[in-house]
Amino acid sequence: MYPPNQYSRLETDAESEPHLTFPIKRTKILGIPLPLIKPLSILTCLILFLTVVLKSIKSTPSTEHPRKNIYVFDHHPRPEWLDSNSTRSPLALRLAIITRVDGFERRQALRESVLVGIRHSDVQLEYRFFVGQAPDGVDGLKTKIQLMKEMQFYDDILYLKDIPDVYERLSEKRYAALKWGGSIPHATYDYFMTMDSDTFCRFGALARRLPRYLADKYINPRTDPVLIGRMGAQYSYYINNVDDDNMDASQEDKVILGPWYSYPSGIGYMISSSLMHSLISTTSPLPHHIHYPSDDLMIGAWIAALHAPKPYLPEVIKTEVVDDIVGWHDFPGRGGHDALIGWESVCIHRLSPTEMGEMRDREEIREEWQD
C-alpha cells in the first residue's frame, strides 16, 4: 500500500546520519535577518503557488459558455411569427414528461416555470408526469409517502407501480406514455409530445412557430404521419420477445440490423396523432424492453419499422421526419446538440430547476405566459 502508514529510515538514509555542528553563528543570510527568513520563504512559496493556480485556471478551456454570452436574442430582431394574431386554432397537445420517482424538485420547476400560464389561445395542453415504482426500504417508503401527497395535491402524475423506477425499465415508461397519449381518438388532438424533466419548452412559441416552420410541407398532423424533434441516426431494430410480467430487468428485446433511420434525441419529440393511431394499432405490442440509453432509439425504430425491414402493419407507412436543428437543442456547452439560445429556441434541454425559473423570467419571453 502506498504511502506507508509509518516510515522507517534505512541505514543508508542521509537523515539517519548524525548532523554536523559548526561553531559559526550567523545572524543574516544575504543581508536578511534570520528571524525573517522563514516568514519570507513561506510568503514567496505562497505567491508562486497562487500564480501557478491562476494561470492554470485561465488557460483551462471552459466546457460552458459564459452566462452572459449564451443568449443571442439581441442578435436578431423579434420575429413576426411570435406576434402573429392569426385565426389558427390552438395547437392540441398531449404531453408526457418522463421523470424519476424522486424528481420532486424538477416536477415542481416544470409546473411553475413551463406549464402554468400557457395561453389557451396558443395551446390546448393535457399533460402527465410518468414515474415508476419507488424502491423498497426506508428511503423508498419516504419517497412513496411524499409522492402520494404530491399526487393528491396536483393530480398530474401517472404512477406506474408495476414498473420499477430504474434505468433498465425506462423504455417501459416511454411505452406506457405512448399508450396514454393514444388513448383518445386521434381526430381530437394534433400531436403527442414527450420531453425529459430537464427540458424547458416555450409552448406558446412552439405553437406560433410551427405553421411557419412547416409551411412548405403542407402537413396536417391528424391525417399525416409526422415526427418532429432533434434527430440522430441508427440502424438497430427490435423484436418484442420479453414478457411484460418479467421481473428480470436485465432481459432485453432482440436486436436486428436494418436500414438506417432517424430517431429523436433525449430533448423530446412530437408524434402526429395520425402516426400515433398507427403505432397503437399494431396487432402485437411494440418492442419496449430496451435498456437505457437506447430508449430514444426505440422511438425511431418503431416508426421506421412501419415500412422496413419487417413492417408492423399490413400497409406501409412512410413518416415525414422533421429534424429541427434550430428549435430543439441542448443548453450551451452541454450535450452533443448544444446551441446558443435565441428566438427560435423552443425546446431547450439540460436545464437545472433554477435555470428554468431564470429562463421564464427573461424579459424577451416572459410575456409568452399569462400571469
pLDDT digits (tens, 9 = 90+) for 253-304: 999 999 999 999 889 999 999 999 999 988 888 999 998 888 899 999 999 9
HSE of 219, CA atoms in CB hemisphere, 13 A: 25
For 95-113, the pLDDT digits (tens) are 999 999 999 999 999 999 9
67-368 fold: Spore Coat Polysaccharide Biosynthesis Protein SpsA; Chain A (3.90.550)
Among 128, 274, 119, 303, smallest CA distance to 190 is for 274
Q: Is the pLDDT of residue 5 over 70?
A: no
Strands 226-239 and 320-323: parallel
pLDDT in tens, 28-71: 444 545 555 566 566 666 666 666 545 544 444 444 455 568 99
pTM of the model: 0.80
List the grid coordinates of 28: 543574516
Cα Rg of the chain (Å, integer): 29
